Amino acid sequence: MSYKAKFRVWRGEGGEGKLEDFTVEVNEGEVVLDIIHRLQATQAPDLAVRWNCKAGKCGSCSMEINGRPKLGCMTRMSTFSEEETITVTPMRTFPVIKDLVTDVSYNYQKAREIPSFTPPADVKPGEYRMQQIDVERSQEFRKCIECFMCNNVCHVIRDHEENKPGFAGPRFLMRIAELDMHPYDVADRKDSAQEEHGLGYCNITKCCTEVCPEHIKITDNALIPMKERVADRKYDPLVWLGNKIFKRSSSKS
Amino acid sequence: MTQTTAESPARRQRAQIKERTLRTDPWWRYPLVTFIIFTAFVVYATWTIFDASYFVSPYHAPFTSPCLATSCPEEARLFGLAPFGDWYTLPPALLILGFPGGFRLTCYYYRKAYYRGFWLSPPACGVAEPHKKYTGESRFPLILQNIHRYFFYAAIVIGLILAYDAVKALIAKPGGLGTWILIVNAILINLYTLSCHSCRHITAGRLNHFSKHPIRYRAWGIVSKLNAKHQELALISMFSIMGADLYVRLVAKNIIAFPFV
Amino acid sequence: MEIERHEYDVVVIGAGGAGLRAAIEARQQGKRTAIVCKSLFGKAHTVMAEGGAAAAMGNVNSDDNWMVHFRDTMRGGKFLNNWRMAELHAKEAPDRVWELEAWGALFDRTKDGKISQRNFGGHEYPRLAHVGDRTGLELIRTLQQRVVALQQEDEKLHGDAEAYIKVFQECTVTRLLKDGDAICGAFGYWRENGKLILFDAPAIVLATGGIGKSYVVTSNSWEYTGDGHALALLAGANLINMEFIQFHPTGMVWPPSVRGILVTESVRGDGGVLRNSEGKRFMFDYIPEVFKDKYATSEEEGDRWYTDQANNRRPPELLPRDEVARAINSEVKAGRGSPQGGVYLDVSTRLPAAEIIKRLPSMHHQFKELADVDITKEAMQVGPTCHYIMGGVEVDADTGAAAVPGLFAAGEVSGGMHGSNRLGGNSLSDLLVFGRRAGMGAASYVDGLATRPKISEESVATASAEALAPLERSGENPYEVHHELQRTMNELVGIIRKSEEVSEALEAVEKLKERAQNVGAAGSRIYNPGWHLALDLRNMLLVSECVAKAALLREESRGGHTRDDFPVMSAEWRTKILRCALTPDGSGIAVEEQVQTAMRDDLITLFDRDELKKYITEEELAAFDALAKE
């Protein structure tokens, strides 16, 4: 039933630190976050970990377990063998505050750089009429629990700190797609997606989709469709021509 | 600009971890397998350009279809046409191979696979890439990936021609093994083409009000279902077209005889 | 020691639905507003809400209106609700939901493109606006994005996004400060580096949620340590209805990682049965007299009901929530529980695997992903879980103002709205309606101030010493004290209460209060969870004392308060509210009875006499009759 597991946990403050070894009891049915909490209660009372709902719904306990971004509360111990050493580190892409807690302010800053939902001025609350099929695409993206693991795993910023200013990360490129597909949003988001928020940096290698705990198809349903929408605008002379002709004929009639 | 958290001088540092990755699973398998398969495909495709045994009535090797040069056998020409005239003396495959090739080269699935397998950018999720700088598809030349939709239009035409080839074979030799190989291949190639992300965008993906375009929405639904299998279709159709092509050439070279009449 | 200082008009503590809605309102009224929250922005417990937000929009059934909703709410709360709050709630909820839509929320739709509404227990019509089973997430994300939208506006206008609304995340408030009688600020610390922080503000809105972390088994997250309840008490405000806690009968109890998480009632509705460790379907032993004719008395009959509801009585697993919870509780106490202290809820032997996956996809998924339990193969372990506290800060219905000038409260931390029992779906709409009202109340309070109250250095020094004390002690591990408190509350002031047990709990809490004085937290101030817990203990102990004291006094059973020794509802007790306040010396809690104000004439006449007579006293009924004659 219960056994002693070998854990290596990164501990340190402000970047400096190292992997520390622990041997800790594991009981049936536990998840990695339980083990971290057991370490807190028994061996390392000041071990820092961020967590909240413990049910995979709030996206607080993002960490890297054996090198892969995971939610601590959703990674069951039964997925590891008893002999295995389990390595737990903070998310690598963001500055570390202490132990497993990182400073995720990059994400909040990016959130603020994306222009908000912009409804037409003449529609009043209560007057919105939308069909289910028209909101479903954006609804998928709104399942996002903002664990920021997609932004963490994305090599564009994980491996290239210098790209951070010009790249919103999968989470917020998906936010742009969500708004661009919103039936009532009137803001033009295509140019800025490419020019300001770095959609072009994305090389669709799909790591964001692989790590998403909500199983949102970030790449196929948000990023690629957004790239296609940008291509409509910026890289497709046929569409451009078509629009011109169409506009002219419709303005005539 | 940052959301408020307390200032402390040391906090702008990432965790200093020397290992390129702490992954313990065989993450290198995907890029390696991709590298091997794609390399084999490219080598084969290159060889077919210079291989002249691409036609044996009624079978047409898909890598060289349509055949548009005057050097093509009469029967192999698409609707008997040879629009390029006598001045064109290079291998006929060169004229058309760029279209399906370009379609696959700019395909969103293939991009993912070769960025990982060939360019190692990144080799796998959570594994550091070896490059110092990265600009992705934001600049020339990779910004050209955005023309994928034109290759999609071309791929539709190629797909129809392959289907036409298969139908021709069916009429001439309904029981031939080659006929059925060509038919299966044509179906797979067309499914792959239809499952394309650009196709999904064009059917209705670009619209914000599906409910106002019910027919396009239905088409989008079908394409979306196919699109979820885009990777699988890309790989299966790659093997099927290589297999079909090789089969026709082997028959043309008399290495294997016609089975089943 | 240097303390970071900030000046604001309104400081909102808590960034769940109520807190964010309050902050948005205060900012929209032109007030400089701070939001202080213990977690990251957007992670508050509101995300856990699944069902939906109740609002009588009448999109699905046009017969629905605020009066029906009002009646449902009062009925659900067993007529103990603050009727003015219930009225405002029912009237304003639709506007609040529509407003979310204009801020970008995407609710599920009806065929004609309106917001879809679903049925829920206690609501007469389909009323809950929802997005699948993640309505809470939608709500919090929309409000979060609304805050961001306002910041973008401020950036354009003032060049500073945080000029009028700023989020202080991962920051805990430990004390409210007063200048004379009135609020003048709040004191706290940054969780991440332990530095101290002071807010100079004449108005504070509490929106800190509930108290679930005083119990072992709870559906609540770690944040729910009753901070707002305790801060209000310490500042001199009153708490009401603290004895009313909603326990859901079936929460997961095993494995430990998911203890308390809800198991939906439809598991039982679709054939799931409850068994004890002896394998017995024990619910047949727990059918109360009043329900005897409505429920099956044999397993055979109960089983037939699932396919033939017309000719059979329903199985007793489907008794009302409190009955089921009481039965589970008794079995466990009698030693017939599962090893981990629950009972078995089994569908695996009742339905084919494919059928279970088809009918209960989310439960199958929940147990598979979180617990590695395949509910098609084995039984679930379930037990009552602490879910929601109806009690909280006594506030003015219209403005959310507490008894202390400058103090406001909204959401779960406030009391009255839900009476003795909350209806599902009424909590999300409560957050929106009263979040906005508290924000408005705070803004107009600030407008009406002649002079800004001042923070005294002395109060800052006291608050600072209190906050740092655990770091300087090397006493008991705070986890020990916390666990003991949780066990005490769970076992003795849980779902079924008895006079002796509650008294025992009060003694235990007294002892724990002493032990809490001596807990120490080793390590640095940087993100030190032991220290944080040591500080939260004060709040949990205060709140637990309120719950236990009020539970001991209320000698009846009503809604979220069940007394084994007083099993019936009493019309006399309906007229009384129990009000908790800090004793003058600050050492404990004093509870006093308060008379419930009579419902306004036009509201009480919305009810049938037949219904009212089950709840109200003879005199009240006579008054009602007199009114009806007019």
pLDDT digits (tens, 9 = 90+) for A106-124: 999 999 999 999 999 999 9
- Average pLDDT on A202-216 reads 96
A71, A54 Cβ separation under 8 angstroms: no
| C268 is annotated as an active-site residue | yes
Plot region of B154 (φ>0 → left; ψ -120 to 50 → alpha; else → beta): alpha
Percent over 90 (pLDDT), chain C: 75
Residue pair C507/C572 in contact by the 8 Å Cβ criterion: no
User: Distance between terminal CA atoms of chain A?
Assistant: 78
**Conformation bin of residue C67: beta by default, left when phi > 0, alpha when psi is -120 to 50:** alpha
* pLDDT above 50: residue A5: yes
| Residue B184 resides in a domain | yes
Phi first, then psi, for residue C220 (nearest 5°) are -90, 155
Q: What is the DSSP string of C233-293?
A: HHHT--EE-TT-EEEEEEEE-SSGGGTT-B--THHHHTT-EEE-TTS--GGGGG--GGGTT
Confidence tier at C629 by pLDDT (50, 70, 90): confident
Residues in chain C within 8 Å Cβ distance of A13: 526
Kindly report the three-state secondary structure assignment for every residue of chain A. Answer: CCEEEEEEEEEEECCEEEEEEEEEEECCCCEHHHHHHHHHHHCCCCCCCCCCCCCCCCCCCEEEECCEEEEHHHCEHHHCCCCCEEEEECCCCCEEEECCEECCHHHHHHHHHCCCCCCCCCCCCCCCCCCHHHHHHHHHHHCCCCCCHHHHHCHHHHCCHHHHHHCCHHHHHHHHHHHHCCCCCCCCCHHHHHHCCCHHHCCCCCHHHHHCCCCCCHHHHHHHHHHHHHHHHHCCHHHHHHHHHHHHHHHHC
Q: How far is it, in rounded angstroms, from Cα A157 to Cα C340?
A: 45
Judge whether B258 lies within some domain: no
Could you tell me the CATH number of the domain that includes residue C378?
A: 3.90.700.10
At B183, which helix (H) or strand (E)? Answer: helix B177-194
Query: Minimal CA–CA distance to A116: which of C105, C25, C18?
Result: C105
Closest Cα in chain A to C373 = A29
- Asked if B1's CB is within 8 angstroms of C161's CB, the reply is yes
Q: What average pLDDT does this structure show over A140-151? A: 97
Residues C290, C234, single domain; the answer is no
B14 located within any domain: no
Q: What is the mean pLDDT of residues B91-101?
A: 93
Between A160 and A243, name the one with better pLDDT. A160
H-assigned helices in C9-110:
17-28, 66-76, 83-102
On whether the CB atoms of residues A157 and A151 are closer than 8 A, the answer is yes
> What do you get for the CA distance between the two ends of chain B, in Å?
76
**Contact residues of B toward C, CB < 8 A:** 1, 3-6, 8
Could you tell me if C250 and C260 are in contact, meaning their C-beta atoms sit under 8 angstroms apart? no
Q: What is the percentage of chain A residues whose pLDDT exceeds 90?
A: 82
Tokens of C414: 């406030």
Q: How far is B212 from B162, CA to CA, in rounded Å?
A: 35
**Cβ–Cβ < 8 Å for A97, B7:** no
Q: Which two tokens stand for residue B114?
A: 């070769």
List the structure tokens of C440. Answer: 């408005």
Predicted pLDDT at C1: 63
What lies within 8 Å, CB to CB, of C153 at 6+ separation is none
> Which B residues in the span 112-131 are in contact with A, Cβ-Cβ below 8 Å?
112, 115-116, 121-122, 125-129, 131
Q: Tally C-beta pairs within 8 A across A and C.
A: 165
DSSP letters for C39-54: S-TT-SGGGG--S-EE
Q: How far apart are CA C222 and CA C235, in angstroms?
A: 23
Q: What is the pLDDT of residue B3?
A: 41
Strands C343-346, C380-389: parallel, antiparallel or unpaired by DSSP?
A: antiparallel
Q: What is the pLDDT of residue C424?
A: 86
**Cβ-based contacts of C169 with chain B (< 8 Å):** 3-5
Chains in contact with A via at least 3 Cβ–Cβ pairs below 8 Å:
B, C
pLDDT at C289: 75
CATH code (residue C440): 3.50.50.60
C309 vs A86, higher pLDDT? A86
Answer with the residue of higher pLDDT: C325 or C502.
C502
In a domain, B7, yes or no: no
Q: What angle do CA C317, C320, C326 make, to 5 degrees?
A: 80
Give the closest-approach CA distance of A132 to chain B in angstroms. 9
Residue A26 has pLDDT above 80, yes or no: yes
Express as a percent the part of chain B with pLDDT over 90: 82
Residues of B in Cβ contact (< 8 Å) with A17: 15-16
From A215's Cα to the closest Cα of chain B, the distance in A is 13
Separation CA C459–CA C329 (nearest Å): 46
For Cα atoms C422, C425, C429, give the angle at the middle one, nearest 5 degrees: 95
Q: If 0-12 CB within 10 Å is exposed, 13-18 middle and 19+ buried, where does residue B206 land?
A: middle
Q: Which pLDDT score is estimated for C590? A: 97
Residues forming a β-bridge with A26: A3
Give the integer Cα–Cα distance in Å for B224 and C544.
54
Peptide bond into B122 cis (omega under 30): yes
Range of the domain at C189: 4-244+390-457
The pLDDT of residue B10 is above 50: no
C362 and C405 in a single domain? The answer is: no
Per-residue pLDDT band for B11 (boundaries 50, 70, 90) equals: low
pLDDT value of residue C314? 83
Mark whether C156 and C232 lie in a shared domain.
yes
In angstroms, rounded to a whole number, what is the distance separating the alpha carbons of residues B245 and C6?
74
Domain shared by C146 and C276, yes or no: no
Asked whether A223 and A174 are in contact (CB, 8 A), the reply is yes
Q: Please tell me the predicted confidence (pLDDT) of residue A248.
A: 57
Alpha-carbon Rg for chain C in angstroms: 24
Phi, psi for C314 (deg, rounded to 5): -75, 150
CA distances from A133 to A126, A175, A182, B221, C112 (A): 19, 19, 11, 11, 12
Lowest mean pLDDT among B76-85, B239-248, C152-161, C574-583: B76-85
Percent of chain C beyond pLDDT 70? 100
d(CA C487, CA C556): 24
- Cβ atoms within 10 A of the Cβ of B89, count? 9
Mutate to test the interface with C, among B2, B4, B13, B210 (most CBs of C within 10 A): B4
Whether the bond between B141 and the residue before it is cis, its omega within 30 degrees of 0, is yes
> In whole angstroms, how far apart are CA C601 and each of B158, C71, C361, C399, C410?
80, 14, 47, 22, 26
Are C82 and C154 contacting, i.e. CB atoms less than 8 angstroms apart? Answer: no
Say whether pLDDT at A221 is over 80. yes
pLDDT given at position C461: 97
Q: Which residues of B touch C170 (CB under 8 A)?
A: 5
Highest mean pLDDT among C352-361, C367-376, C458-467: C458-467
Domains and CATH numbers, chain A: 3-102 (3.10.20.30), 105-240 (1.10.1060.10)
Question: Are C529 and A27 within 8 A, CB to CB?
Answer: no
- Smallest CA–CA distance, residue B5 to chain C, in Å, is 6
List C residues 208-227 in contact with A (Cβ-Cβ < 8 A).
221-223
Of A70-84, C181-195, C287-301, least confident by mean pLDDT is: C287-301
- Determine whether the interchain pair A52/C43 forms a contact, defined as Cβ–Cβ distance below 8 Å: yes
Instruction: Let me know whether C110 and C222 are in one domain.
Output: yes
Mean pLDDT in residue range C81-107: 98
pLDDT at position C462, please?
96
pLDDT single digits (tens) C65-75: 999 999 999 99
Question: Nearest-CA distance from B10 to chain C in Å?
Answer: 11
Judge whether B10 lies within some domain: no
d(CA C168, CA C198): 12
Residue B57, domain extent: 26-252
Check pLDDT > 60 for residue A215: yes
Whether C474 is in a domain gets the answer no
Residues C428 and C357 both lie in one domain: no
Q: Which of C403, C436, C457 is the last residue of a domain?
A: C457
Domain identity same for C109 and C80: yes
Last residue of a domain, one of C345, C361, C387: C387
Q: Work out the mean pLDDT of chain C and round it to a whole number.
A: 93
pLDDT at A250 exceeding the cut of 70:
no
* Distance of alpha carbon B80 from the chain centroid: 27
Please report, for residues A84, C181, C183, C442, the alpha-carbon distance to residue C454 in angstroms, rounded to integers and kept in the order given. 59, 11, 9, 17
Rounded mean pLDDT of C561-581? 95
Task: Report how far residue A18's alpha carbon sits from residue A16's, in angstroms, rounded to the nearest whole number.
Answer: 7
- Model confidence at A251, pLDDT cuts 50, 70, 90, reads very low
Task: Note whether residue B143 is domain-resident.
Answer: yes
Non-local (6+) Cβ contacts of C622 within 8 A are: none
* C150/chain B closest Cα distance in angstroms: 14
**Could you tell me the two tokens for C47?**
């995300």
| Residue B217, pLDDT above cutoff 60 | yes
Residues C251 and C217 grouped into a single domain:
no
* Active site annotation includes C554: no
Question: Are C219 and C258 in the same domain?
Answer: no
Predicted TM-score (pTM) of this structure:
0.93
Q: Which of C45, C255, C251 is nearest to A31 (CA)?
A: C255
C434-462 average pLDDT score: 97
pLDDT in tens, B39-79: 999 999 999 999 999 999 899 999 999 999 988 988 888 88
- The count of structural domains within chain C is 2
Same domain, C232 and C186: yes
A-chain residues near B133 (CB < 8 A): 160
Boundary residue ending a domain (C387, C418, C449): C387
Which value does ipTM take for this structure? 0.94
Mean pLDDT of A1-12: 94
Most C-contacting residue of B3, B12, B211, B212 (CB-CB within 10 A), to test interface: B3
Contacts of B128 in chain A (CB under 8 A): 155, 158-159
The per-residue b/e assignment along B46-56, b for 16 or more CB within 10 angstroms, e otherwise, is eebeebebbbb
Tokens representing residue C350 in the block: 């009742």
Residue C603 in domain: no
Residue B1 domain-assigned?
no
Question: Residue B136 and residue B148: Cα distance in Å, rounded?
Answer: 16
Same domain, C217 and C97: yes
Considering the domain boundaries, does residue C499 fall inside one? Answer: no
Confidence band (pLDDT; 50, 70, 90) for B5? very low
Q: For residue A89, what pLDDT is reported?
A: 98
Catalytically annotated residue among C89, C268, C313, C532: C268
Find tokens 């655990």 and name the residue: C470
Instruction: Give chain B's domain count.
Output: 1
- Interface contact C527-A52, CB threshold 8 A: no
For residues C250 and C383, state if they share a domain.
yes
Cα separation, C491 vs C496, whole angstroms = 9
CB nearest to A228's CB, from B5, B127, B201:
B201
The residue length of chain B stands at 261
Calculate ∠ Cα C12-C128-C63, nearest 5°: 125
User: Chains A and B: how many Cβ contacts under 8 Å?
Assistant: 182
- Angle made by CA atoms C19, C22, C26, in degrees to the nearest 5: 135
C→B interface, C-beta within 8 Å: 4, 41, 161-162, 166-170, 190, 192-193, 195, 197
The shortest C-alpha distance from A253 to chain C (Å) reads: 30
DSSP assigned state of C588:
S
Type of residue found at B190: N
Residue C357's pLDDT is what?
83
Kindly indicate the confidence band of residue A253, based on its pLDDT and cuts at 50, 70 and 90.
Answer: very low
